Amino acid sequence: MSKVEDFLTPEEEQEIVAAIRTAEKNTSGEIRVHLEKHTSIAAFDRAMEVFHLLKMDQTELKNGVLIYVAVKDKTFVICGDKGINDLVSNNFWDSTRDVMATHFKEGRFKQGLIDGVLRAGEQLQKYFPYQDGDVNELSNEISKG
């Protein structure tokens, strides 16, 4: 499976988008999932580029979280913006990464992404609970590169 289009079915993609909506209901944080075939640079560096390209660094509270997946490279990165990273411990995303990795190793990519999204939402809710008037600042759709 080396093509982004083959990574998830359209139905699976919609289930992940629904998980993003659910995760964002209780937080002002923003969660995005980005898929691409391959990165020619370090996955973390590419994830940070994508973070910027998707304007995730422009949210009001700096509380965006990106789940970046390079399909062919079989690698993924979870990265958060300054607002969330300034508040959490250094190993904050490790447990989420570990849950996702377990699913991915068993070929359950959709479930790994859904669990990652929902866990990110739970963590965001702790530090950035939903406030009256919060607006969805970023698209919930899965982006592809």
Per-residue DSSP letters for 19-80? HHHHHHTTBS-EEEEEEES--SS-HHHHHHHHHHHTTGGGSTTS-EEEEEEETTTTEEEEEE
Q: Indicate whether this model's pTM tops 0.85.
A: yes
Examine the pLDDT at 83 and tell me if it is beyond 70: yes
Rg (CA), the chain: 14
CB atoms within 10 A of CB 105: 10
Split at pLDDT 50, 70, 90, the class of 133 is: confident
d(CA 84, CA 120): 11
The reported pLDDT for the residue numbered 2 is 55
Taking only the tens place, the pLDDT of each residue in 92-129 is 788 899 999 999 999 999 999 999 999 999 989 999 99
